[in-house]
Amino acid sequence: LHLAARQGKADVVQKLLIQGAIIEAKDKYGGTPLYDAVYGGKEDTAKLLLDKGAKIESPRNNGHAILHTMAAEGRADMVKFLLGRGAKIEARTNDDETPLGLAIKNNKTDVAKLLLSRGANINARRTRNGWTELHYMASQGKIDGAKFLLDQGANIEAKTNKGNTPLFLAIRNNETGVAKLLLKRGA
């Protein structure tokens, strides 16, 4: 079933399902046939699997649902498809990351803009520490990511669970480029 899904052979997928193949069968990485179809860009096969009951939020072993992977890789066509079929835009990985965060982290700004246009929360906070994506960009010195977030309206004064702002984290980590950007933008 995985191979047929990956290759986009919808007719074979249909026959295998009729013969009792398990639609949520996991490979050694925890991927499902739906994951394989979407990853391979086989939209017709993915539609068939979803229509037959495949779970769109089924995570792999690393906690990434297919929307996370498509966002991280900048696959706008598949992100649109998945959102249109009900994928949760604020779904979290095992590491508490959102599709938007993964797109930004991987410099996939077109997908990040798409997710924002569909309602992704630019100021979403991580459950364990209260960090936003801007906190991560600031603490890691990622000027382009920080600039993108600020241009899109991220809260420059957002506070973590410990009360730290992005500017504090940039200074603490000696990320002077991001610190200067934040100061220039009004932090």
pLDDT tens sequence across 36-79: 999 999 999 999 999 999 999 999 999 999 999 999 999 999 99
Q: Same domain, yes or no, for 134 and 185?
A: yes
Q: How many domains does the chain have?
A: 3
Query: Tens digits of per-residue pLDDT, 148-185?
Result: 999 999 999 999 999 999 999 999 999 999 999 999 99
Q: Same domain, yes or no, for 102 and 137?
A: no
CB burial string 52-79: b at 16+ within 10 A, e below? eebebebbbeeebbbbbbbbbbbbbebb
CATH number at residue 115: 1.25.40.20
Q: Tokens standing for 48?
A: 């068939």
Domain of residue 4: give its range.
1-55
Mean pLDDT for the stretch of residues 122-146 = 95
As a whole-number percent, the residues of the chain with pLDDT over 70 amount to 100
In three-state secondary structure terms, 47 is: helix
Q: Which residue in this structure is represented by tokens 């949520």?
A: 24
Can you give the pTM of this predicted structure?
0.92
**pLDDT at residue 25, as a whole number:** 97
Q: Same domain, yes or no, for 39 and 68?
A: no
Q: Same domain, yes or no, for 148 and 117?
A: no
Domain boundary among 95, 121, 147: 121
* DSSP conformational letter for 182: H
Q: Same domain, yes or no, for 69 and 38?
A: no
Q: Tokens standing for 6?
A: 């990956």
**Quick check: 167 and 182 in contact, CB under 8 A?**
yes
Average pLDDT, rounded, for the chain: 97
Q: Same domain, yes or no, for 115 and 131?
A: no
Helix runs in the chain, H state only: 2-6, 10-18, 33-39, 43-51, 66-73, 76-84, 99-105, 109-117, 133-139, 143-151, 166-172, 176-184
Q: Same domain, yes or no, for 132 and 186?
A: yes
**Quick check: 1 and 26 in contact, CB under 8 A?**
no
End-to-end, the C-alpha distance of the chain in Å comes to 53
Domain boundary among 121, 144, 167: 121
What does the alpha-carbon distance between residue 58 and residue 64 come to, in Å, rounded to a whole number? 8
Q: Same domain, yes or no, for 3 and 35?
A: yes
pLDDT at 112 over 90: yes
Mean pLDDT for the stretch of residues 109-122 = 98
Q: Which residue in this structure is represented by tokens 């009951």?
A: 53
127 pLDDT band, cuts 50/70/90, is confident
Q: Same domain, yes or no, for 106 and 131?
A: no
Q: Same domain, yes or no, for 44 and 73?
A: no
Q: Same domain, yes or no, for 111 and 131?
A: no
